Amino acid sequence: MAWSYSGDPDSSALDSIRFLIGDTDTNDQLLANEEITWVNKQVTGSTTSTDSLYDVASRCCTTVASKFSRLADQAVGDLKVSMSQKAVAYRIQAEELKALSSREGSVPVPYAGGLTISGKETDRDNSDQIQPYFSSGQFTNKEEGGIKAQSSVE
């Protein structure tokens, strides 16, 4: 199993994913190249795709957390090694990357409401939307059956 990191996340999907999950230390390798590219292929259909980097990184963090979950906390005298804390930290990182993946590649879409009759009715019925101060028919005499007051010109 190979492990590589060039230090340039822009150079490849593998380096980007390694960068996102923090697997950049040659002396503390978490996942092999083949494991990361397999996850990338499961998500995107390609081992080199950069379409869903945050989703792939999230899944890789979950895998790393699973590895640490299998290891027990150890203590020798005053020295303590808490593998469970590493597992928790990687699960939190997986959640954060998953949240980022939902926004990855998304473009904000402007909304202009009230352009159609049904749109205006929807906006008017929405109790959470701020209603306008002025509206058509606001001065209608509702006591006279909804008929506008007419001036008498003789």
Enumerate the domain spans of the chain: 13-103
Which of 1-10, 101-110, 121-130, 138-147 shows the lowest mean pLDDT across its residues? 138-147
Cβ neighbours of residue 44 closer than 8 Å, sequence gap 6 or more: 51, 52, 56
- pTM higher than the cut 0.85: no
Q: Which residues of 34-60 are buried (b: 16+ CB within 10 A; e: fewer)?
A: eebbebbeebbeebeeeebbbbbbbbb
Q: pLDDT digits over 7-36, tens only?
A: 999 999 999 999 999 999 999 999 999 999
SS3 call for 148: coil
Check residue 137 and give its pLDDT.
Answer: 76
Check residue 124 and give its pLDDT.
Answer: 81
Distances in Å between the Cα of 49 and the Cα atoms of 10, 132, 149 are: 12, 48, 69
% of residues, the chain, pLDDT over 70: 91
Q: Which residue has the higher pLDDT, 35 or 74?
A: 35
Cα end-to-end span (Å), the chain: 100
How buried is residue 123: exposed, middle or buried, by Cβ count under 10 Å (0-12/13-18/19+)? Answer: middle
SS3 call for 10: coil
Please give the angle made by the CA atoms of 91, 40 and 59, to the nearest 5 degrees. 10
